[in-house]
Amino acid sequence: MQAVGGVRSLNLDSSRPLLLATGESLSPLTIAFESYGALNSAHSNAVLVCHGLHGDQFVASPNPVTGRPPWWPRIVGPGRPIDTNRLFVLCANMLGGSMGTTGPASLAPDGQPYGLRFPMIGVGDIVRAQALLLEALGIDNLFLVIGAGMGGMQALNWASAFPKRVFACASVASAARQPAQNIAFAELGRQAIMADPDWRNGGYLAHGVRPSRGAALVRAAARLSGQSPDQVRATFKSGLAQERLSLAPDSREDRSDPNSHLYLSRAMDAFDLAADFGGALANAFQGDQTRHAVFAFSSDWRFPPEESRIIARALMAAGAEASFLEIKSEAGHDAYLGEEPAFESALTGFIDAAASARGLGLHGESHLA
């Protein structure tokens, strides 16, 4: 294990390559991650937080590379719904990511960046890489796996692929299959990156440039799609009032790798949990002993509540223990990142009930024995 530039990472033994769904293998493999809290003696209090398409592993601490604040401080931390006083929390940068985990910007065995030579990956491959990390850390099973958006897809994949290793699962503002409008937006974003002259057919690192204009368009699209319909209208109404023809430019520093976005967005678009189960989503959860909570936000048009209802109905059809809650909110898809008392209260209740069944301490209690 090592820390480079403030990023903690674990280099997995090259004798254990990651076998991808395409049949290719990936080795060597580095996985960057952050952890919070302490693992108890029984190793029964581990939580895996899965980040979304534009996220990273710094769920509860500032990003030391970009300086950005943690992205989920209202949910993960001491006394929060995912209470680090009693739970051991892990968040790993996704396979194919650009914050320390092996991805297109990483060096291939020949010493040159992978670029477009990086193999195609899917959400299942991302989950299997996380499983390798947990095994390397001596964690056989998870008390909870949770994520929103693409992170929710990973959480559902975990519960389906490793049902005996996941005690509880929470999917937030997500779907069991990428909604069509998201596929359309993602393709436009990819085309924006590839149309940037500095993309150089994916080889921009060798030329010392970045397709920054294309990447900025991707960030603008992400910002818009995270808002509610009313917020989108207000944003453009404000632009008209100021006689602007477009959104104000995104001035935030972006250290992500554009090629990484190409790969991860394609993995997200290809996600269809029912596809390997005869097209019946309930079959993906047959015999599932995992406790599930499915959350949606009323104004989310990126992952509409109906997508979460589909998940909940499939879980119930499979006989899984599941609950569904649609939170009334005017904040759109990004509501899960902000102050939503109803969501925080419901998530705390779900985690407390699961903790009680697991024999862990209740909310606010330390249970490291």
What is the distance between the alpha carbons of residues 165 and 46, in angstroms, rounded to a whole number? 11
Token look-up 């900025």 returns 216
pLDDT at 254 over 80: no
Q: Where are the domains of the chain?
A: 2-179+274-358, 182-264
Of the candidates 290, 295, 293, the one whose C-alpha atom is nearest the C-alpha of residue 357 is 290
Kind of pairing between the strands at 46-50 and 88-92: parallel
CATH of region 182-264, choose from 2.60.120, 1.10.1740, 3.30.70, 3.40.50: 1.10.1740
Percent share of the chain, pLDDT over 70? 91
Q: Where are the beta strands (DSSP E) in the chain?
A: 2-4, 7-12, 18-19, 25-26, 29-36, 46-50, 76-77, 82-83, 88-92, 142-148, 166-172, 291-297, 321-327
What is the distance between the alpha carbons of residues 246 and 248, in angstroms, rounded to a whole number? 7
**Higher confidence at residue 242 or residue 60?**
60
Confidence of residue 369 (pLDDT cuts 50, 70, 90): very low
Tens digits of residue pLDDT in 300-354 = 999 999 999 999 999 999 999 999 999 999 999 999 999 999 999 999 999 999 9
CATH of domain 2-179+274-358: 3.40.50.1820
What is the distance between the alpha carbons of residues 215 and 193, in angstroms, rounded to a whole number? 6
What is the distance between the alpha carbons of residues 337 and 80, in angstroms, rounded to a whole number? 13
DSSP string over 67-91: -PPPS-TTTEETTSSEETTT-EEEE
The verdict on pTM exceeding 0.75 is: yes
For residue 229, the model assigns a pLDDT of 85
Tens digits of residue pLDDT in 16-28 = 899 999 999 999 9
What is the distance between the alpha carbons of residues 188 and 218, in angstroms, rounded to a whole number? 8
> Which of 22-31, 135-144, 239-248, 302-311 is predicted with the least confidence, judged by mean pLDDT?
239-248
Residues in Cβ contact with 131 at an 8 Å cutoff, skipping those fewer than 6 apart: 162, 165
Confidence of residue 191 (pLDDT cuts 50, 70, 90): very high
